[in-house]
A = this chain, B = another copy of it.
Amino acid sequence: MTGRSRVVIVGAGFGGLAAAQELESASVDVTIVDRNNFHTFQPLLYQVATAGLNAADVAHPVRGIFQRQPNVTFRQGTVTGVDWETHTLELEDGTLTFDHLIVAAGAVTNHFGVDGAAEHAFPLYGLRDAVRLRNHILARFEAAATDPRLVDDGALTFVVVGGGATGVEVAGAMIELITSVLRRDFRAGELDVDRARVVLVEMADELLTAFHPASRRHAREILEARGVEVCTGTTVERVTATGVRLSGRDQLAAHTLVWAAGVRPSPLASAIGVATGPGGRLAVEKDLRLPGHPEAFAVGDIAAIGGFDRALPQLAPVALQSGRHAARQVRRLLDGRPTRRFRYVDKGTMATIGRRAAVAELPLGIRLQGTPAWFAWLGLHLVFLIGFRNRVSVLLNWAWNYVTWDRGPRLILEPPRRPATDK
């Protein structure tokens, strides 16, 4: 062991990686802990789920990211708690001691207590979720081709809950997969793919409530023009394996409900013995330190940055900037300097709707729609994707999909979940 300060980072998402990278030139030993041996580029998960990209395109091994940063070590493991007395992080299979701790453990799907959602809804927060949803979508089409009665049973009805950016992106990509790819995959006499439905459900009266009204209208128009049924002002009351009950409507026969309605902090938030707010996120000081634990920070989705009343949204740029800020404060503390408060710089937000269709809202009131917004979205995501190899592969897939209207990786790689009607 060296006499160097030990920084432990929990989570290899945007926040954790940014923190570790910011510590590159610091004379500290950094350990990143994550359940997975890879970082997941979450903004593109919906493309994996809709067979536009390979799983490996949006994931990068953590060890590979830090091969050239010798002060970083990776530890694959699941964190169960913190012993603040001894400055020890507790894992399922061991412990790690730290001088400084950065908690960037992210979030998990929030089902808001909807009956049946935990059992039957498909989340879309991790890489396995995306692969599982892809397998399920494709397997439903194969099952319906084998037994066309399954169409009435809901095999080809796909409900997406949540009209935020994720829900809009999933619904848009799904209708594109169906109308431009699967319609060619299945012969006319074999399966009437036109009977497939994508239903986007949103509680509020409009989609993309975080966006300007013009963007909201644009997104809705495009989605509807492409065939998505948009149900705003509607909530999900109950989910089963073959049906969804929406507020004020009859039971909808559907084998698939994609849950894009929201997240809650990682269970770790409530396991480390510090204060959490109404949504369960960790309370943090203005400099992102945990109250009462001046050696520990919380960043990204798990932290209520800015206070419980007006916490920053759970977005990649917030995680990235807060992770970097926490690392900088660790350096200041090591240098004996006072910490600084975190200031989030809003660089805008965007959502893609489908082929040459997106909305983007940039600083200074600049708003883009359609093809320009779509290209902005493509470029930005390519730039932020980690790994040159991944970038080339994603670019290749996108070019292929765009030119051929095809989707390469539409493979059912796991045994399909049996539909309830097969029991």
Contacts and interface: CB of A to CB of B under 8 A. Distances in A.
B55 A185 contact: no
A350 B389 CA distance: 29
A414 B387 CA distance: 22
A295 to B, nearest CB: 24
Interface stretch (A58-66, A205-213, A314-322): A58-66
Interface in A72-121: 73, 75-77, 93-94
Interface string A187-201: 100100000000000
A142 interface: yes
A138 interface: yes
Given A73-B187, A94-B147, A147-B94, A61 B413 contact: no
A412 B56 CA distance: 10
A25 interface: no
B67 A184 contact: yes
A373 to B, nearest CB: 27
Contacts of A57: 54
A56 B59 contact: no
B61 A94 contact: no
Given A73-B190, A400-B389, A410 B146 contact: no
A36 B412 contact: yes
A379 interface: no
Contacts of A397: 389
Contact of A409 (B56, B76, B186, B414): B56
A184 B63 CA distance: 9
Interface string A382-423: 000001011011001100100000101111111000000010
A187 B63 CA distance: 10
A57 to B, nearest CB: 8
A110 to B, nearest CB: 23
A55 B146 contact: no
A67 B392 contact: no
A37 B412 contact: yes
A292 interface: no
A414 B127 CA distance: 10
Given A64-B406, A67-B185, A392-B396, A146 B411 contact: no
Given A75-B145, A396-B396, A185 B410 contact: no
B64 A185 contact: yes
> 7 shortest A-B CB distances, which residue pairs?
A63-B185, A56-B409, A76-B142, A54-B56, A389-B408, A38-B411, A37-B412
28 contacts: A37-B138, A38-B411, A38-B412, A54-B56, A55-B55, A55-B413, A56-B409, A59-B411, A61-B410, A63-B186, A64-B406, A64-B410, A73-B187, A76-B142, A76-B412, A77-B146, A93-B146, A93-B147, A93-B422, A94-B146, A128-B413, A128-B414, A131-B413, A389-B400, A389-B408, A390-B408, A393-B393, A393-B408
